[in-house]
Amino acid sequence: MSALLAALLAGAGAGAAPAMVVIDEAATVREEAPPHGAIGLSTAWRISDAVPAPRSFEFRKRALHVGAAIGIHRIDHDEIYYVLSGTGIVHSDDEEKALKAGTAAWLYQGAKVGIRQTGSEPLVLIIAYPNQAAAQ
């Protein structure tokens, strides 16, 4: 074996990334009031909670039941709401926009944001944002 190959193999484990984690969302589901005001009911899949620390971002799925909302709150990071199904209205500072399946709202650090379900079906979202604890 060449010295270069031996060095590469010896260093393969040094500084290597952790092993991947595969998560079944069914293991993370719970019924609860949505955050930031407890407006209505929701189904939450706290998917990234199953990932060992440290992790650099959060990845969640939430179904806002009819009439439910994530209340308006200031965010200290960028955040993305991606709509899987249903309809809703997203709020960022003094602006509101309609969302439907296949649309995303990119919300910026410092904004006051929230989202509410509209229509007759639950609003199902993927929500992703950086993990502030990991950044410190």
| Every domain of the chain and the residues it spans | 30-135
State phi, psi for 43 to the nearest 5 degrees. -105, 125
User: Helix, strand, coil % (nearest 5) of the chain?
Assistant: 15, 45, 40
Assigned CATH topology for domain 30-135:
Jelly Rolls (2.60.120)
User: pTM for the whole thing?
Assistant: 0.84
DSSP string, 31-78: EEPPTTT-BS-EEEE-GGGGSPSP-SEEEEEEEEPTT-EEEEEE-SS-
pLDDT tens for 92-130 read 999 999 999 999 999 999 999 999 999 999 999 999 999
Which residues of the chain, if any, have pLDDT below 70?
A: 1-14, 133-136
Q: One-letter amino acid identity for 104?
A: A
